[in-house]
Structure 1
Amino acid sequence: MGTKTAAILLTACLLLSACSANKPESAATGNNQTSAASDTSNGSQTVPKDHNSAGKTTAQHDKSVVDNSKSENSATVAAINKTYHLDKAYNVVPNQEGVEKKVILLTFDDGPKEAAMINKIIDTLDKHKAKAIFFVNGYRVKEHPELLKLIHDRGQPIGNHSWDHIVLKNKSEAEVKKQIETVQKMVKDITGQAPVFFRPPHGAGGDVGRKVAKENGLLYMTWSVGSLDWTMNKSQPNKTDALLKNVTEQLHPGSNILMHELPWTAEALDSLLTRLEQKGYRFVDPQSIEVPAD
């Protein structure tokens, strides 16, 4: 019995020694691999101090791949974000089925005028998570370039409303080019971005206005719903109610609403946007509208 027991014990020892010698490397390093995979999935790697330079280079490469991927994704989002266009009546229309139809485009003409009024309007837009196109006149920008920068810095799109507030349709092509292109250059010089939207004063650009706008990569538009705020005056009572009535009576999906930088419009804006939201409308981001440059 003693000899048999000794033989069994010797065999067991030899087997145990053999198993230890053949243990897989992956089993010994599995925890480290899991940690590295987790770091990579978070967009960066934590490189221990005792890693060699090759390891650091690999980690930096992995991070740049993630960053480049994010940039490509952002570019893709920007490229597919043009979900609307304007029809011949200047209404906002979805490009395809399944895109929300009950939307409104907000616009303000004839600025920039006063910082307090601009801030009040944009404060209200921010409250309702809305964007609006601010169509500016060149002569006003020349007087107060800081107001143009205010609109831009607060994240609102700027449109071209020509240099003067004149009827363009009867002007020569040279005059119309000067009226439009001078504003294009001025806005770009001040904000770094040239406008992509053009609205002729009085809604009267004519064929020449359309031609020059297109040559400058501008989307030509007038409006499909007028607030009639420009017909009001300081002494008129109940201007907010009148503005609400003017807009809601014409309201329809895709409405392109014309307003102005006027004190009573700034005062009525919160009530107007609240009423529109209650009716189930949402405010379209002008950047989602196709323009000729697209």
Structure 2
Amino acid sequence: MLGDEKSVILSFDDGPAPLAALESILQTLRQEEIKAEFYVLGDEVRQYPEAARMIVDQGHDIQNHSWSHSDLERATEQSVRSELERTQNIIKKTTGVTPTKIRPPYGAGGFRGHLDPELVEVARDLSLDIVTWDIDTEDWKAPQGLGPEKINNIESQFEQQPRKESFNILMHVQTGTARDLPAFISRLRGWGFTIAEP
């Protein structure tokens, strides 16, 4: 089977808003007894502090996804520092948790072999590991969510990495994903994957 003796971690970018989608995702994770990681935007944490606290209170990891979803690879060192530092500070102030990972928006400057030197330097200064993903659900593309076409694409991404044993699956906090998440989780389990804690 596709997922025999393999595990996945569920991760969600761009939260904590929209709030209805976040609440639905959190409810599904609670029902399925899954812990996930949320890469949040500093500016949204500023606008929706309760939502950020909800993520942490329910036992999920909260991590840095920049302040304003800018392309950090093209940004100056000063701008990268501001994007990451402000986000670290607001997450810590709001939730009491200091993030340990940065997932750059679009993965820009974050992939091995294409690491952006300014991002590397700032991340090191802030004790952040730069992370990306192994499986891109493309859940944001129309039609939004995790429907049959997306599932076929996800399956082929797993098949293209036969030696890998642990996968990080990228999703987003959005309505379509929230709607399709229960079916997607049961599909992953049907493939034989264990859903691991981040």
Is this a same-fold pair by TM over 0.5?
yes
- List, as ranges, runs of 4+ consecutive aligned residues in structure 1 with deviation greater than 6 Å: none
Residue 209 (structure 1) aligns with: 119
Look up the SS of the partner of 1:155 in the other structure.
coil
Specify every segment of 5 or more residues in structure 1 that has no aligned partner in the other structure, as ranges.
Answer: 1-99, 287-294
Q: Residue type matched to 2:70 in 1?
A: I
Mapped to 2, the partners of 1:193 and 1:127 lie a distance apart of 24
Measure the CA separation in 2 of the matches of 1:244 and 1:123.
22
Aligned to 2:91: 187
Q: In the aligned structure 2, how far is the partner of 1:223 from the partner of 1:264?
A: 20
Q: CA deviation at 1:239?
A: 5.2
Write the letter of the residue equivalent to 2:153.
N
CA distance in 1, matches of 2:5, 2:123: 27
Q: Which amino acid aligns with 2:151?
A: L
Q: Are the counterparts in 2 of residues 167 and 201 from structure 1 also a CA contact under 8 Å?
A: yes
Q: 1:281 aligns with which of 183, 188, 193?
A: 193
Distance 1:127 1:246, change over 3 A: farther
Match of 1:229 among 133, 139, 147: 139
Aligned to 1:172: 76
The match for 1:220 among 123, 130, 146 is 130
Cα separation, 1, equivalents of 2:183 and 2:149: 12
Q: In 1, Cα distance between the equivalents of 2:196 and 2:122?
A: 26
Q: Who is 1:199 aligned against?
A: 103
Amino acid of the structure 1 residue aligned with 2:108: A
Structure 1 residue 248: deviation in Å? Answer: 1.9
> Residue 56 of structure 2: which of 136, 152, 162 is its match?
152
Aligned to 1:241: 148
Partner in structure 1 of residue 184 of structure 2: 272
User: What secondary structure sits across from 1:229 in the alignment?
Assistant: coil
RMSD value, Cα: 1.8
Partner AA of 1:228 in structure 2: E
Counterparts of 1:242 and 1:210 in 2: how far apart (Å)? 35
SS of structure 1 residue aligned to 2:140: helix
| 118, 125, 137: which one aligns with 2:22 | 118
**Following the alignment from structure 1 to structure 2, what is the Cα–Cα distance between the partners of residues 284 and 215?**
29
Q: How far, CA to CA, are the matches of 1:119 and 1:284 in structure 2? A: 21
Number of equivalences: 184
For normalisation by structure 1, the TM-score amounts to 0.59
Distance 1:161 1:154 in 2: 20
Structure 1 residues 285 and 239, CA, compared in 2 at 3 Å: closer, same or farther?
A: closer
The CA deviation at 1:233 is 4.1
Aligned pairs (5 A) from 1:1-294: 102-205=6-109, 206-233=116-143, 240-251=147-158, 253-286=165-198
SS, match of residue 169 in structure 2: strand
8 Å CA contact retained: 2:137, 2:146: no
Are 2:21 and 2:174, in contact at CA under 8 Å, matched by a contact in 1? yes
Q: Partners of 2:51 and 2:149 in 1: how far apart? A: 28
CA contact (8 A) 1:243 1:268 kept: no
SS at match of 1:150: helix
Percent pairwise identity: 35
Counterpart amino acid of residue 184 in structure 1: Q
